[in-house]
Amino acid sequence: MKSALIILLVLSFMGIAVFGAFGMNHGNGHGSGCIGAIANGRECAGENNSLQSINFHLKTFKSFSTAIFLLIASLTLAANLRVIADIQEVAQNKQFVVIEQRFSLRQQKFTHWLAIHENSPAIL
């Protein structure tokens, strides 16, 4: 469930970045209806010069894509830091600490014998 949600979230951000370019009306005289013009706070450059218009829109699309990439990167970093904190918390929990003790051969044999006869009430 978690991985499906993460994949859906990443795909939605990528979709916003890719399809955001199509939200920029690339026709002549689009002016204030363009996302690029609204984002940059000025009219689209070079309505009569197509190279300037393409450059203007590509720079705006680049800034949108960079913002989405930085958002995904920061969310990934926050998730990784959370996982590291959880791992450290589990490592400090005394319940999960393994205490290694060395037993003598006699103690090991006795423990083994007890384990074999643990569920055998007939020996009593």
Map tokens 């979230």 to a residue: 9
What is the model's pTM? 0.41
**CA 66, 3, 85: angle at the middle one, nearest 5?**
80
How far apart, in whole angstroms, are the C-alpha atoms of residue 59 and residue 55? Answer: 6
* pLDDT value of residue 43: 72
At 39, which helix (H) or strand (E)?
A: helix 35-40
pLDDT tens-digit map of 20-57: 666 655 555 555 567 777 777 777 665 567 777 778 77
pLDDT tens-digit map of 63-116: 777 777 888 889 999 999 999 988 888 777 766 656 666 778 888 888 888 888
* pLDDT value of residue 3: 81
